[in-house]
Amino acid sequence: MRVLVTGGAGFLGSHLCARLLGLGHDVVALDNLLTGSTTNLDPIRAHPRFQFVRHDVTEPCDIPAEAVFHLASPASPEGYLRHPLETALANSNGTRQALALSHRYHASFLMASTSEIYGDPLVHPQPEDYWGNVNPIGPRSCYDEGKRFAEALTMIYYRQYGLDARIVRIFNCYGPHSDPHDGRIVPNFVTQALAGRPITVYHPGTQTRSLCYVSDLVDGLIRAMFTPGTAGGVFNLGNPEEHTVLEYAETVRRLAHSSSAIVFRDPVSADDPQRRRPDITRARQVLGWEPRVGLEEGLLETIEWFRQRLDVARV
Ligand code: UDP
């Protein structure tokens, strides 16, 4: 099958492309490299069934495909706060373009949405039928409102045009290929721990997240796209194991054998959600999916990957 991955040079997109190639598909990765990097594609660049196209998804494009994974968008808080307009447009105009292409080629479509559409949730853990608690004019709204609009557009194409479309809401994930400079919790804590620099916990430190290892997440994306009967469906994908940010700092420091201090800092943005944990009952039942990689196993893999990168950077 010919598969198009928008945002294919990003953290998740590059892992997804590699997995799709392994499954025997022809893969086209589309990316404008705003926050993605071709370095992420190095392991698959020479693959005979792989093609990279540098293109901004907000502009029309004509790439025949039988399945379209729409991942293109800055996704880390630092990334979308730095590029708010590009983020809002990737999720509005960009989603429109990806949907129009899918409609033209009768392709299956997957919208990569986010747990951020739940905002600072008043319901915990978050099931798919929770509508969220989002600040529509806050600094994060370029992303969370952008993704909410993308979900609405996806459902229009599903209802009006019968497009074979589904939505996944991706909770925090981590692993190799994450950008060490994107400001997210795991890249920050791991690079700080390895360099012996202070580990920066943003106030209050009691806020929680549930971290999913990237290989599990990619498995969920593929099941959501290819499991029969998922059209029109919405699925949370994430790991329900929940910890405080301070606990993650302590775990990373221990696993990296680091003597870094743990220090408290102000968060990079207002509206930092205080709790986040997916209810994955639906993904378990409909997709037969659940995460398999434990936190310590995944963090050790990630620490090792960052350690090698930092060693190379020092040479
Ligand atoms: N965080 C932190 N220190 C850091 C980076 C992040 O304490 O150096 C916190 C952040 O305030 C948030 C959580 O970790 O509560 C997850 O942040 P991230 O940027 O990874 O993603 P988010 O879940 O906010 O989209």
Whether 146 is in a domain gets the answer yes
Decide whether any atom of ligand 1 lies within 6 Å of the 201 Cβ: yes
Whether 298 is in a domain gets the answer no
Q: What is the DSSP string of 203-230?
A: TTS--EEE-EEHHHHHHHHHHHHHSTT-
- How confident is the model at residue 56, as a pLDDT? 98
pLDDT tens-digit readout, 24-70: 999 999 999 999 999 999 999 999 999 999 999 999 999 999 999 99
- How confident is the model at residue 309, as a pLDDT? 86
- How confident is the model at residue 270, as a pLDDT? 83
Domain holding 222: CATH number?
3.40.50.720
Task: For residue 229, name the pLDDT band (cuts at 50, 70, 90).
Answer: very high
pLDDT tops 90 at residue 313: no
Active site residue 105: no
Q: Which residue range(s) make up the domain with 12?
A: 2-173+212-239+277-292
Decide whether any atom of ligand 1 lies within 6 Å of the 193 Cβ: no
pLDDT tens-digit readout, 170-182: 999 999 999 888 8
Whether 204 is in a domain gets the answer no
Whether 101 is in a domain gets the answer yes
Instruction: From the candidates 118, 143, 174, 213, give the one annotated as an active-site residue.
Output: 143
- How confident is the model at residue 251, as a pLDDT? 98
Whether 315 is in a domain gets the answer no
pLDDT tops 80 at residue 311: no
pLDDT tens-digit readout, 8-19: 999 999 999 999
Report how far Cα 41 is from the mean position of its chain's Cα atoms. Answer: 16
Tell how far the Cα of 267 is from the centroid of ligand 1, in angstroms: 8
The total domain count for the chain is 1
Whether 249 is in a domain gets the answer no
Extract the tokens encoding 291. Answer: 């995460």
Whether 74 is in a domain gets the answer yes
Cα dihedral 215→151→119→234 (10° resolution) = -50
Task: For residue 269, name the pLDDT band (cuts at 50, 70, 90).
Answer: confident
Whether 93 is in a domain gets the answer yes
- How confident is the model at residue 268, as a pLDDT? 83
Q: Backbone phi, then psi, for 253, in 5-degree steps?
A: -60, -45
CB-based contacts of 310, cutoff 8 Å, min separation 6? 191, 194, 195
Pocket test for ligand 1, best of 12, 245, 275 (most atoms within 8 A of CB): 245
CB-based contacts of 51, cutoff 8 Å, min separation 6? 26, 27, 28, 29
